[in-house]
Structure 1
Amino acid sequence: MAAGCEEVHACSEEEQDEAADAEEAMLWPIQEALERQTLQIGASACGATAVVDVLRALGVDVTPERADQCVRTRLRRNDSPLPDYLLSRSQAGATHTQLIQGAEDASQGQVTGRFFHFHPRRRAKLVPWLSKWIRKGAVPVATMNMQVAVPEGEEVPDAWHHQLIFGVTSNAVFMTNPLDLVSEEEVHQRLCSESVLLIQRQDVLQRLTSDCCLSSLSESHTDPRWKALDVEGQVRQMALEEEQEQDRATLTHITIPAAYSSGITLFTLRHTDLGQELLNAPQLPLA
């Protein structure tokens, strides 16, 4: 009986090793990724930075300036009154649509991309799914809400982030800008996020002046989410807490709509079998 159990256990471990090997896929070895990766090329330009490396991975060299120009990175309007500042924050950087268009323009049509939503939650295992596409030659870029799954004790980041994924292993994901190895669970949480952005208390209060028209936060936007999230009410509550000089403020952030969608964009050369397969691939099914 004992021998039989040991045999079953040994077989199970072997199967687990095979499964882990099947999930592993790398565009570059780690040392090569360290040498090849492009570090942030400018303010809010993580998307354009990822596009530079996507194109290089696919054999198309472009300058960072050209990539940024094609992606059309949006900047924060830090000197604007609060309503316009918040609007700029909701759009700063780039969306996956801008990344796809930017890669196509910078490569003169050689490269195409396809975005796969991960929110609402999808019925897919992230690492095996990525492994399948990487092995075929696709280059993934994650669009993640970095304000989700923040390790305990660390400060909440103030932005979303685009990162090229250069490999996966058993239950972890390798990314560039910065070079990082992140657990599958953590990446998945950041990929499965509503399109919202947290704005730090000090960023709101330092731009809140007596002549600030807060009603514009609800009335002038075409996006109904500004009203649904009651951004105006959040700002008023934060201002009230400041006036009352509460020892511990309830609102450390306000929540505003974000232009970004969380998920993975896969890039490949357009005029290839893989390019056609990618463009014809269905969205991942809802969980």
Structure 2
Amino acid sequence: MEAVCEQVHEGDGEEHAGEDEAMLWSFQEALERQTLQIGASACGATAVVDVLKALSIDVAPEEADRCVQTRLRRNESPLPDYLLSRSEAGATHAQLIQGAQEASKGKVIGRFFHLHPRRRVQLVPWLARWIRNGAVPVATMNMQQAVPEGEEVPDAWHHQLIFGVAPNAVFMTNPLDVESEGLVHQRLCSESVLLIRRDDVLQRLTADCCLSGLSDIQSDPRWRALDIQGQVKQMSREEEQDQPKLTHIRIPAAYSSGITLFALRESELGQELINAAELALL
């Protein structure tokens, strides 16, 4: 990561910035200014704190979290309610936009750009253009996509502020990191599903657990389409049989993968953001 950061710093200066390079903060500034995770499932609220900071608006982390209305996992609930809580734990991009607007007393607006299904866009040049104009991007990514071989599948989606881009590199906070354009794009182009670990399902699968409600949670047809009840029953049968075991079940997720761009409402950029066209489908 340091080698890539050095390359970016060597390119600092407006006259040298190519179409694939733009930084809100230098790496050192990001190290000093970033906000670390402020609470359980609060990566979205954490990103909002840094968005407002980048737009010169200081808000206490607790206030940002209140405005975003972070949802928590209900770990002690029976399986159906636990799975529902997992599907919406944290925050959606809509909550981030509403939270930033409320926390800034209306000074900041956000605009979400879907990247699933796949769009006709080159991610780094597109981000670089908006960042150079003063927009602050937040990525909403399915971290269960593009997992490096040998690593454990992460347990959640994630919101991260993007403080800069360079050729084939995306710089993010919470945690401070740089990833390749291709990997980030994969995580930004995901259907709205969440993998739930086998142990998290089976430890809540008690004798009196009613599975019938899993098909129609909140009347969302996606629960029936994914046959959650069938997946859970298969896991249960596998405990008694000598056969390959499902490592996860798939449930609907409340989140959409893509990029939210934030700007000051009364700026020219704010108006451009409001009027920007959706990214075209491939």
Matching residue of 1:260: 255
CA contact (8 A) 2:265 2:271 kept: yes
Matching residue of 1:275: 270
Could you list the per-position Cα deviations for residues 73-98 of structure 1 after superposition, in whole angstroms to 9, with x for gaps in the alignment? 00000000000000000000000000
Question: What TM-score comes out, normalization by structure 1 length?
Answer: 0.92
Task: Give unmatched runs, 5+ long, in structure 2.
Answer: 1-14
Please say if 1:232 is aligned against 2:268.
no
Q: Helix, strand or coil: the match of 1:221?
A: helix
Matching residue of 1:166: 163
| CA 1:214–1:101: 2 relative to 1, 3 Å | same
Matching residue of 2:240: 243
Larger displacement relative to structure 2 (71-80 or 213-222) = 213-222
- Aligned mates of 1:283, 1:75 — CA distance in 2: 31
Overall identity of the aligned pairs, in %? 77
Q: Helix, strand or coil: the match of 2:170?
A: strand
Q: Helix, strand or coil: the match of 2:80?
A: helix
Matching residue of 2:152: 155
CA contact (8 A) 2:169 2:179 kept: yes
Matching residue of 2:213: 216
| CA 1:242–1:170: 2 relative to 1, 3 Å | same
- Aligned mates of 1:89, 1:20 — CA distance in 2: 42
1:19 is displaced (CA, Å) by 10
Give structure 1 regions of 4+ aligned residues with deviation exceeding 4 angstroms. Answer: none
| CA 1:75–1:206: 2 relative to 1, 3 Å | same
Structure 2 counterpart of 1:138, one-letter code:
A
- Aligned mates of 1:78, 1:109 — CA distance in 2: 35
- Aligned mates of 1:219, 1:231 — CA distance in 2: 10
- Aligned mates of 2:217, 2:61 — CA distance in 1: 36
Matching residue of 1:286: 281
Could you list the per-position Cα deviations for residues 90-133 of structure 1 after superposition, in whole angstroms to 9, with x for gaps in the alignment? 00000000000000000000000000000000000000000000
1:243 is displaced (CA, Å) by 2.4
Matching residue of 1:144: 141
Matching residue of 2:12: none
Question: Which of the two has higher C-alpha Rg?
Answer: 1
Please say if 1:134 is aligned against 2:131.
yes
- Aligned mates of 1:285, 1:182 — CA distance in 2: 25
Could you list the per-position Cα deviations for residues 130-185 of structure 1 after superposition, in whole angstroms to 9, with x for gaps in the alignment? 00000000000000000000000000001000000000001110000000000000
Matching residue of 1:110: 107
- Aligned mates of 1:194, 1:172 — CA distance in 2: 23
Matching residue of 1:187: 184
Matching residue of 1:6: none
1:220 is displaced (CA, Å) by 4.0
- Aligned mates of 1:68, 1:38 — CA distance in 2: 13
Q: Helix, strand or coil: the match of 2:219?
A: coil
Task: Give unmatched runs, 5+ long, in structure 1.
Answer: 1-17
1:23 is displaced (CA, Å) by 1.1
Q: Helix, strand or coil: the match of 2:119?
A: coil
Please say if 1:39 is aligned against 2:68.
no
Alignment of 1:92-103 (within 5 A): 92-103=89-100
CA contact (8 A) 1:214 1:232 kept: yes
CA contact (8 A) 2:19 2:129 kept: no
CA contact (8 A) 1:20 1:170 kept: no
CA contact (8 A) 2:37 2:43 kept: yes
CA contact (8 A) 1:195 1:257 kept: yes
Could you say what the CA RMSD is over the residues aligned between the two structures, in angstroms?
1.2
1:28 is displaced (CA, Å) by 0.4
Structure 2 counterpart of 1:274, one-letter code:
L
Q: Helix, strand or coil: the match of 1:197?
A: strand
Q: Helix, strand or coil: the match of 1:23?
A: coil
